[in-house]
């Protein structure tokens, strides 16, 4: 039986349009999905949109449309971008899907019965952008939100609480027994300390937000967006077939994602998130799952944030990078590769078109592209065609097995930067071999030796073309095509060099 591998991205808010930050997380999971498929895993890759809450209600009102029209429109924009960026997701969930809403409601009522959710009231400082209350120790001077640096709203309301406090010890025990769960390791202590400092019960409904899922037994209340959103990971995996009365549509959903039952997919192997929502995924989410008696995801990985030329991306600064625009100008694949070569995965990074162009020229045009052209040109002259396999004692071809081992190890650590470093490093070794052996001269003095060099280069390049596929699916396929056994054709450069901007 093939091994399943269930991975997710955050579901993105639809109050504004997607940018390079959202693309980053999604491409990361796409790279991983493609790599795991290469290795024979039965991958289920879930993404989607988070469509309820006051912010979305407001965005729709400002645009003069209904929340439904607004969310349909932005969800479609996300899908369009994922198509442009060649994202091979298997399922796209929207929190306004009926099949999701049913599961959220069923979970709510189940936890109400078990005593994990109870009715109370709440007064506190609330940030509308974070959709979250803050306690005094977290609030900045002047009553500002620690994330948005904007004034918080004083809110008093009747609300249902989730008994998060009940899960302090079980969570700490889980972290200790599953050191992989909080990844990367450098982010673990913050979460452990947060939980150790004591957990307060979490308000999980609002009476003032109309655009949300109603509590079935008390419909004046709508369910808190985060409680609603986190559940997407199990509603998309078919939990409805276990919980909901109307099973038909949940079964249809399972067929769509090619599973017979919920247990085929759950628990997830990896939730990939940005660092700012790590806590939601590693404290609230596992506690909800514990309350439901469900297994916990194997790993939550928090990556860093992109700034743009040193600044936070924001509408007001007008510096939001639209990945579709960069891709239209320079190609989807170079963008996909750049994001992971530029910054060690897990750390923050800074995006600039200048470093994009520099890396494009050095990694792609001068290294990979040049290697492919010179190899094929020389081989065309020397042999005319490429064989299926080569035999003999070839040093770099032997080394490729070590490189592949290093690549696999880097993927295990989600060190996408190291994967690319290994691939590009190996291509540099191949370029060095060409410079040293000078096959174009060798061909005059020792044609057999020249041929051996060219055969080794072609065989190694075939490996490179397979390794590159998760990052650059289209370009890698083109490389593979050019390196097929048989007559060598003439081709244009794979990565035409970019000229420096004229000052
Ligand atoms: N809807 C919630 C997530 C719910 S998951 C159950 C949300 N949505 S969001 O639209 O704000 O998306 C946040 C995610 O987008 C981050 O966690 C990260 O994955 C990605 N990024 C958004 N801006 C980013 C950067 N500037 N840099 C890197 N990634 C960032 O939070």
pLDDT in tens, 134-172: 988 899 999 999 988 999 999 888 999 999 999 999 999
132 forms bridges with which residues in the sheet? 127
pLDDT in tens, 307-343: 998 999 988 888 999 999 999 999 999 999 999 999 9
- DSSP-derived secondary structure letter, 199: -
**What's the pLDDT score for residue 500?**
67
Q: Whole-number mean pLDDT of the chain?
A: 95
Q: Is the pLDDT of residue 77 over 80?
A: yes
Measured from the CA of 307, which atom of ligand 1 is nearest? Answer: 26
Copy the structure tokens of residue 460.
């190694």
Q: Is the pLDDT of residue 501 over 80?
A: no
Mean per-residue pLDDT, 55-69:
95
Measured from the CA of 230, which atom of ligand 1 is nearest? Answer: 6
Pocket test for ligand 1, best of 21, 48, 225, 309 (most atoms within 8 A of CB): 21
Mean per-residue pLDDT, 394-411:
97
Measured from the CA of 277, which atom of ligand 1 is nearest? Answer: 17
- Confidence at 1, pLDDT banded by 50, 70, 90: low
Mean per-residue pLDDT, 198-226:
95
Mean per-residue pLDDT, 14-35:
96
- CA 89-30-410 angle, to 5 degrees, is 150
**What's the pLDDT score for residue 293?**
97
**What's the pLDDT score for residue 503?**
45
Distance 44 CA to ligand 1 centre (A): 20
Cβ neighbours, 10 Å, residue 180: 12
pTM of the entire structure? 0.94
Total residue length of the chain: 503
Mean per-residue pLDDT, 209-225:
96
Q: Is the pLDDT of residue 193 over 60?
A: yes
Residues annotated catalytic, as ranges: 19, 22, 127, 130, 145, 148, 312, 315
H helical segments located in 123-247:
168-177, 188-196, 225-230, 232-235, 240-243
Distance 229 CA to ligand 1 centre (A): 13
- CA 275-279-281 angle, to 5 degrees, is 95
Residues with CB under 6 A from ligand 1: 10-13, 21-22, 24-25, 50, 229-230, 232, 273-274, 276-277, 305-306, 313
Q: Is the pLDDT of residue 123 over 90?
A: no
Q: Is the pLDDT of residue 502 over 80?
A: no
Cβ neighbours, 10 Å, residue 156: 10
Atom 15 (ligand 1) nearest CA: 22
- Confidence at 249, pLDDT banded by 50, 70, 90: confident
Atom 16 (ligand 1) nearest CA: 274
């Amino acid at each position: 039986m093939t091994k399943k591998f269930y991975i997710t991205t955050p579901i993105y808010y639809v109050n504004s349009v997607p940018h390079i930050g959202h693309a980053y997380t999604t491409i990361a999971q796409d790279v991983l999905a493609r790599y795991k498929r290469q290795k024979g895993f039965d991958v289920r890759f879930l993404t989607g949109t988070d469509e309820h809450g006051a912010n979305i209600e407001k965005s729709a009102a400002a645009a003069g449309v209904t929340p439904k029209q607004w969310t349909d429109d932005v969800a479609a924009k996300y899908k369009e971008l994922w198509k442009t960026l060649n994202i091979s997701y298997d399922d796209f969930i929207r929190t306004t899907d009926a099949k999701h809403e049913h599961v959220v409601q069923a979970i709510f009522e189940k936890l109400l019965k078990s005593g994990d959710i109870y009715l109370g009231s709440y007064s506190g400082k609330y940030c509308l952008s974070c959709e979250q209350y803050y306690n005094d120790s977290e609030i900045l001077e002047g009553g500002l939100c620690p994330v948005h640096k904007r004034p918080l709203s004083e809110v008093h309301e009747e609300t249902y609480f989730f008994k998060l406090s009940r899960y302090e010890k079980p969570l700490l025990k889980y972290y200790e027994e599953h050191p992989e769960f909080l990844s990367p390791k450098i982010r673990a202590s913050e979460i452990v300390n947060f939980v150790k400092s004591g957990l307060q019960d979490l308000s999980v409904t609002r009476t003032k937000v109309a655009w949300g899922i109603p509590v079935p037994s008390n419909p004046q209340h709508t369910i808190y967006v985060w409680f609603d959103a986190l559940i997407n990971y199990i509603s998309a995996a078919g939990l409805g077939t276990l919980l909901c009365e109307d099973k038909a549509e949940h079964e249809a959903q399972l067929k769509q994602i090619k599973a017979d039952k919920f247990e085929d997919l759950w628990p997830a192997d990896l939730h990939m998130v940005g660092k700012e929502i790590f806590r939601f995924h590693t404290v609230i989410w596992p506690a909800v799952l514990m309350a439901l008696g469900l297994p916990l995801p194997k790993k939550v990985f928090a990556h860093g944030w992109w700034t743009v030329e040193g600044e936070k991306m924001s509408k007001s600064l007008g510096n939001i990078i639209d990945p579709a625009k960069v891709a239209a100008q320079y190609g989807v694949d170079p963008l996909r590769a750049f994001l992971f070569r530029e910054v060690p995965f897990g750390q923050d990074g800074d995006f600039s078109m200048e470093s994009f162009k520099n890396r494009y020229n050095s990694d792609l045009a001068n290294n990979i592209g040049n290697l492919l052209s010179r190899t094929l040109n020389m081989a065309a002259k020397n042999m005319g065609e490429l064989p299926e396999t080569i035999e003999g004692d070839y040093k770099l071809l032997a080394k490729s097995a070590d490189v592949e081992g290093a690549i696999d190890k880097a993927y295990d650590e989600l060190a996408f930067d190291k994967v690319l470093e290994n691939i590009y490093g190996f291509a540099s070794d191949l370029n060095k071999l060409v410079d040293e052996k000078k096959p174009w001269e060798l061909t005059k003095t020792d044609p057999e030796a020249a041929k051996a060099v060219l055969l080794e280069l072609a065989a190694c390049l075939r490996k490179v073309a397979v390794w590159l596929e998760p990052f650059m699916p289209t370009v890698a396929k083109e490389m593979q095509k050019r390196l097929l056994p048989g007559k060598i054709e003439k081709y244009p450069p794979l990565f035409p060099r970019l000229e420096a901007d004229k000052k």
